[in-house]
Structure 1
Amino acid sequence: MAEPTKAIFLLMPEWQGSASSRAMLITDGAAHLREDLPPAARFDVAVPQQAGDALGTPVARLSSVVAARDAARETLRSAEDPAITLGGDCASTLAGLDRAAERDPGVAVLWFDAHPDLQHPSTSPSGAASGMALRHALGLGIADLNGAHPIDPSRVLLVGAREVDAEEAQAIDELGIRSLAATSEGPAEAVRDWLTEIGATSVYVHIDLDVLDPAEFAAVHAPVPFGLAVSDLAGAVRAAVATAPLAGAAICEFAPATAEIASDDSPTVLRLLAALVSGGSR
């Protein structure tokens, strides 16, 4: 049996990258999750309280998104263990993903999300950084947010994306990004096969909780029908970290509208955390 991966947890209640009018529910979700994280391995990332400014770019609230990312980078600078970021919107993944790519150019990226987050800043209908997160991780957005160590698109697998803009679909095709539908049978086996095929030397796992089917998980801003079952997502994550060492991860967009929903759905987040650390040590 593989030994659990030793990891640190970055609690990053960043809401400024979200397009939702209820974006600040993310901070409530982060506060709820904080109680369940081991204090010795938990690091609180300082996120600006103010909304922030676009700084003359097409990216809404850019100043706060950049400040939060830089604070996460500083926290990660001296950390040795894989880092799991949680409690923020999808833009909160950027610091940890860039760190994983810096440490291992052969890292594979699993992007579990109802959206591919490949909107371009110049054409994004909302200007929200979350909808551009993968675009910036690939180094194809604006300089302020582009990763210092861009991910190779051939090493990205989209899983569960089912709300895709026309321009995002074009980018997926032009960049040759592989995808796996939420309705696919055996996602764990497919993930394992893909990691083996590309020769992944480590894996970064991005999870936007809206990848889950709304019938099983309600604590997101805008549920998208026909998502993954919790058991299928957890199984795919376990298969991933059993195939390649965990380089890092993010669990994003936990936005419970009420305390009751937070209590009902937080066990699912903890189940996914357990899956992430279930593989062997790096």
Structure 2
Amino acid sequence: MSTPAYLVMPQWQGSPSSRAMRLADGAALLREDLPPTARVDVAVPLEAGDALGTPVARLSSLVQARDAARTAISGAVESGHDTPIILGGDCASSLAGIEHAASGDGTLAVLWLDAHPDLQHPDTSPSGAASGMTLRHALGDGAPELVSAHPLDPARILLAGARAYDPEEDEVAERHGIRALAPHDSPDEFAAQLVAALGDADRLYVHIDLDVLDPAEFASVHTAVPFGLGIGHVTAALRAAVAAVPLAGAAICEFAPSDDAAAAEDLPTVLRILAALTSGGQRAAA
């Protein structure tokens, strides 16, 4: 039986936003709703960090946080929690979890629920923010300090809800054959198409940037992108996906409420997404 560990990782150094510290506030809110026996706090540096002569902003802190997450994942697995779920940081907080999932046996599918494909390269990124490079680093390309030791198979990556591509990201996705799922009016039809696209994978990693949601339904992100997925579409897709393929790991990123009122309104949505993500717990990841 799959047993999740909830890794609270208030990383903000990968975000390009001037309000990036709101991510730490969002992580603190999520932490209070997690079961203490399965909750792990990942030590994220307090300082912004240094680029270390590279194009990646705040790289030194990002490397420290990634290494702390690697250690936390190893400890959680040793204690019997075989499904690490990272919560509360910017998109680059996913890196250690993706790498861990990719190191396992079997065929791993990656579901990328994000308004952006996160395929920017350090040398051409307009911001230097690592969050926009997350999937590129997971593919084994980018800054040597952040590239995954276990690169993903691009043919097994499925983008859903992505609608804000840079021209280079569009070219990279096409060159690697990374698939994107078209939206559908019906949540059930969208979920069915998604499960079919996962194919014969026997393990699943799910990355969720909350900006995948339509701004009319969820506002607690730094930069909302119009025409996103409905909450019903995301939860239906997650329930169907984890029922079809055992979950090997996941991340829910970019919860950045602007104030207490926004937090009170949007926190239940994040918890609904987390519940859908873990609804397949009766099946064990291979």
Q: Which of 167, 190, 195 in structure 1 is aligned with 2:193? A: 190
Indicate whether 1:112 and 2:113 are aligned.
yes
Per-residue CA deviation, residues 103-158 of structure 1 (Å, 9 max, x unaligned), is 13511000000000000110000000000000000001111000000001001000
8 Å Cα contact 1:98-1:149 kept in structure 2:
yes
Q: CA deviation at 1:184?
A: 6.2
1:20-50 per-residue CA deviation (whole Å, 9 max, x = no partner) reads 1110000010111111011110000000000
Superposed, 1:267-278 pairs within 5 Å as: 267-278=268-279
CA distance in 2 between counterparts of 1:117 and 1:104 reads 25
Match of residue 31 from structure 1: 28
CA RMSD of aligned residues (A): 1.1
What is residue 248 of structure 1 aligned with on the other side? 249
Partner AA of 2:31 in structure 1: R
Amino acid at match of 1:241: V
Kept in 2: contact 1:118–1:134 (CA 8 A): yes
Superposed counterparts of 1:54-203, under 5 Å = 54-80=51-77, 81-183=82-184, 185=186, 186-195=189-198, 197=199, 199-203=200-204
Amino acid at match of 2:20: A
Aligned letter for 1:193? A
- Do 1:6 and 1:277's aligned partners in 2 also have CA atoms closer than 8 Å? no
- Report the CA distance shift for 1:156/1:184 in structure 2 as closer, same or farther (over 3 A): farther
CA distance in 2, matches of 1:224, 1:93: 21
Equivalent pair of 1:162/1:181 in contact (CA under 8 Å): no
Tell me if structure 1 keeps the 8 A contact 2:106–2:203.
no
| Conserved? CA contact 1:159–1:179, under 8 Å | yes
* TM-score under structure 2 length normalisation: 0.95
Shift of 1:6: 2.2
Q: 2:260 maps to what in 1?
A: 259
Kept in 2, the 8 Å contact 1:138–1:146? The answer is yes
Cα pair 1:161 1:182 within 8 Å, conserved: no
Are 1:45 and 2:46 matched, yes or no?
no
| Alpha carbons 1:14, 1:26 under 8 Å: kept | yes
The residue type equivalent to 1:92 in the other structure is S
Identity %: 62
Distance 1:136 1:107 in 2: 17
Contact 2:116 2:165 in 1 (8 A): yes
TM-aligned CA distance change 1:223 to 1:61, over 3 Å:
same
Aligned pairs (5 A) from 1:228-239: 228-239=229-240
The letter of the residue matching 2:110 is V
Q: Go from structure 1 to structure 2 and tell me whether the alpha carbon gap of 1:148 and 1:201 turns closer, same or farther (over 3 Å shift).
A: same
How many pairs are equivalent? 277
Could you tell me whether the CA contact under 8 Å between 1:139 and 1:148 is conserved in 2?
Answer: yes
Unaligned runs of 5+ in 2: none
Distance 2:190 2:53 in 1: 42
In structure 1, distance between residues paired with 2:236 and 2:5: 22
The answer for unaligned runs of 5 or more in structure 1 is none
Name the CA distance, whole Å, in 1 between partners of 2:55 and 2:27.
27
Answer whether contact 1:93 1:250 (CA < 8 A) is retained: yes
Distance 2:206 2:64 in 1: 23
One-letter identity of the residue aligned with 1:53: D
Give the TM-score, by structure 1 length. Answer: 0.96
Q: CA deviation at 1:62?
A: 0.4
The list of structure 1 runs, each at least 4 consecutive aligned residues, that deviate by more than 4 angstroms after superposition, is: none
